[in-house]
């Protein structure tokens, strides 16, 4: 199958590329029945595999059933991807199923981020065959809008090669609450930096305007998901409240204003419910004062609003019960929740299957035909703008060449290295000399062997290299286990172990910061301390041994203690007292 294969038989005006998009949308809507329209409003997950088989881990029917029976045409790709060629072939096979239906409405495939290191089925996927880059925090550490736009352009090429046309990102929440588990996907704590980078990110994915070579961006999580009470995440009932003790609701809106100005095509409200503000105390996906009054009217956003996943229906994920994230409206029935979300201004329900509920609401007159058409029109307009009706297939051989192309991989590796942030470097310990004796933990021996002689104990080493991760408190199993939350302080036994090595041999510590960490004195015990935000051993070692200098700057403050964190205001940036290292800190050599 090649990109040149198109839908050539024009039976209806909406299939005619010579007409305007609005003419095509008008014609197609006139031919759709209520079931066709209802199916458009659902954006469900699917995994690469046999289209006729469902996904038992998530309780999801087969793609065939969802397309044929529920008339759905928007799907979010779960899990690791196969090779580019296999991915493209699967895409084409599923697209054929959709085009065989009476109206032949092509599928729009979306994805959470899949170019970095995080593996969380509810937030981000491992890079797999795609080029691998630092997490967004690392892009923020580099502080280059041009590099961010370049990343977006490369990711766009890899996505479009396999048929991924909607990015369920960027995530532009502000990391003002250091304990929050979703900081890794943000650009950090500063609204101005995030605003600059999100504009570049959107231009990289979409181009100057949305078109046939674009990947549409679904910006999240409006109106800013950073200020979570006690840093807890609203995927779970204990994290449902967003609080603004410092009165900084407007600060969190700044990046979204920049995203809209840059042409963001879609917007995702977060799960949380605002507490103590002028807005209704219900989850943002049900919140008319936020979606209609603030987003639609104040900011003039007329793009697609898609809820975060699972607002309506209680489910089980990985064997663990997951109640609907219907915060503030838990007492409402599923149909009442749906009516409230549609009344709030939502166009699409993420992670939901209940097309039958919507059809009943339409039949009962509780959702009007005009209201249904309003959202269907937005969704169809984007499909036509992306060229899906005219070019629904991808070139499988081109996908083989584009996904993970050598120059893309090289640029991603450079970005990993450049994002490294040198926090301390006592006595110019770094860069290290090649050929020295190294004791290592958390480093692949084959990568290190290119630079040094590996020894089995600190006592025999010239230097120790220790790669560690920011601490967190493990929560429940299943889905919840993927969210790193709770205390930012290292356990005493880990600090003792690291300190014992540092007492024996000059020690270089690289700490992976998916959240800020309370360093607990590591900044003085280690001879050199480096922060990374997603970097391979190869990317780190070439910086430690001087092949490439660190260029990163901290995208947030590193707090001095958990007492300082608890005393800070969740919505206020740079609010922990006397941080060990401040936003923007980063040494060079």
Q: What does the pLDDT look like over 177-223, one tens digit per residue?
A: 999 999 999 999 999 999 999 999 999 999 999 999 999 999 999 99
Q: Model confidence over 130-184: pLDDT tens digits?
A: 999 999 999 999 999 999 999 999 999 999 999 999 999 999 999 999 999 999 9
What is the distance between the alpha carbons of residues 185 and 133, in angstroms, rounded to a whole number?
12
Domain positions in the chain are: 13-402, 421-550
With a CB cutoff of 8 Å and minimum separation 6, the contacts of 555 are: 137, 140, 141, 175, 187, 188, 189, 190, 193, 533, 583
Q: What is the mean pLDDT of the chain?
A: 95
Instruction: Output the pTM of the full model.
Output: 0.96
Q: Model confidence over 416-470: pLDDT tens digits?
A: 999 999 999 999 999 999 999 999 999 999 999 999 999 999 999 999 999 999 9
pLDDT of 119 reads 66
Fold (CATH) for 13-402: TIM Barrel (3.20.20)
pLDDT of 58 reads 76
Q: Which CATH class is domain 421-550?
A: alpha beta
Q: Model confidence over 13-46: pLDDT tens digits?
A: 999 999 999 999 999 999 999 999 999 999 999 9
Q: Confidence band (pLDDT; 50, 70, 90) for 126?
A: low
Torsion-angle region of 53 (φ positive above 0: left; ψ -120 to 50: alpha; else: beta): beta
The C-alpha R_g of the chain, in whole angstroms, comes to 24
Mean pLDDT of 361-388: 98
**Which residues does the annotation mark as catalytic?**
308
Residue with tokens 């933990």: 441
pLDDT of 3 reads 46
Q: Model confidence over 237-266: pLDDT tens digits?
A: 999 999 999 999 999 999 999 999 999 999
Residue 336 bridge partners (DSSP): none
Q: Model confidence over 401-419: pLDDT tens digits?
A: 999 999 999 999 999 999 9
Nearest one of 90, 79, 87, 74 to 55, comparing CA atoms = 79
What is the distance between the alpha carbons of residues 128 and 123, in angstroms, rounded to a whole number?
16
Q: Model confidence over 514-548: pLDDT tens digits?
A: 999 999 999 999 999 999 999 999 999 999 999 99
């Amino acid at each position: 199958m090649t990109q040149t294969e198109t839908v050539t038989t024009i039976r209806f005006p909406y299939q005619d590329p010579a007409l305007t998009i609005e003419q095509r949308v008008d014609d197609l809507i006139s031919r759709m029945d209520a079931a066709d329209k209802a199916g458009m409003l659902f954006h469900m997950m699917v995994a690469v595999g046999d289209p006729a088989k469902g996904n038992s881990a998530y309780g999801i029917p087969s793609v065939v059933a969802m397309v044929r029976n529920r008339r759905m045409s928007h799907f979010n790709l779960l899990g690791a991807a196969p090779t580019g060629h296999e991915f493209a072939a699967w895409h084409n096979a599923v697209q054929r199923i959709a085009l065989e239906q009476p109206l032949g409405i092509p599928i729009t495939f979306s994805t959470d981020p899949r170019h970095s290191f995080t593996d969380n089925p509810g937030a981000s996927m491992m890079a797999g065959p795609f080029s691998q880059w630092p997490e967004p925090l690392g892009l923020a550490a580099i502080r280059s809008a041009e590099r961010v736009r370049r990343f977006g352009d490369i990711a766009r090429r890899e996505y479009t090669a396999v048929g991924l046309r909607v990015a369920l990102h960027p995530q532009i929440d502000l990391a003002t609450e250091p304990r929050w588990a979703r900081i890794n996907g943000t650009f950090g704590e500063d609204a101005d930096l995030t605003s600059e980078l999100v504009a570049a990110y959107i231009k990289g994915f979409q181009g100057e305007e949305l078109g046939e070579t674009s990947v549409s961006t679904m910006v999240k999580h409006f109106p800013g998901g950073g200020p979570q009470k006690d840093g807890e995440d609203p995927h779970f009932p204990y994290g449902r409240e967003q609080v603004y003790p410092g009165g900084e609701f407007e600060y969190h809106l700044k990046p979204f204003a920049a995203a809209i100005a840059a042409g963001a095509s879609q917007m995702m409200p977060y799960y949380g419910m605002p507490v103590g503000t002028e807005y209704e105390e219900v989850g943002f996906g049900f919140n008319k004062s936020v979606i209609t009054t603030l987003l639609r009217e104040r900011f003039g956003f007329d793009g697609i609003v898609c809820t975060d996943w699972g607002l309506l229906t209680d489910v089980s994920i990985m064997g663990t019960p997951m109640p609907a994230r219907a915060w503030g409206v838990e007492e409402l029935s599923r149909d009442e929740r749906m009516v409230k979300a549609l009344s709030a201004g939502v166009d699409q329900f993420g992670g939901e299957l209940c097309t039958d509920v919507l059809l009943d609401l339409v039949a009962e007159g509780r959702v009007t035909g005009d209201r249904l058409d309003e959202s269907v029109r937005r969704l169809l307009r984007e499909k036509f703008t992306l060229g899906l009706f005219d070019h629904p297939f991808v070139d499988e051989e081109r996908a083989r060449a584009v996904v993970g192309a050598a120059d893309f991989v090289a640029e991603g590796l450079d970005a990993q290295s450049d994002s490294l942030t040198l926090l301390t470097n006592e006595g110019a310990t770094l860069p290290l000399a090649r050929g020295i004796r190294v004791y290592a933990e958390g480093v692949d021996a084959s990568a290190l062997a290119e630079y040094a002689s590996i020894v089995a104990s600190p006592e025999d080493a010239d230097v120790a290299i220790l790669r560690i991760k920011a601490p967190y408190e493990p929560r429940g199993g299943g889905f919840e286990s993927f969210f790193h939350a709770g205390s930012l302080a290292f356990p005493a036994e880990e600090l003792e172990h690291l300190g014992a090595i540092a007492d024996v041999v000059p020690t270089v510590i690289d700490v992976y910061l998916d959240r800020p960490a309370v360093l607990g004195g590591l900044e003085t015990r280690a001879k050199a301390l480096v922060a990374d935000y997603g970097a391979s051993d190869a990317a780190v070692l070439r910086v430690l041994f001087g092949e490439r200098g660190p260029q990163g700057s901290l995208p947030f403050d590193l707090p001095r203690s958990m007492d300082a964190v608890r005393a800070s205001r969740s919505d206020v940036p740079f609010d922990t007292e006397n941080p060990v290292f401040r936003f923007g800190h980063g040494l060079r050599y």
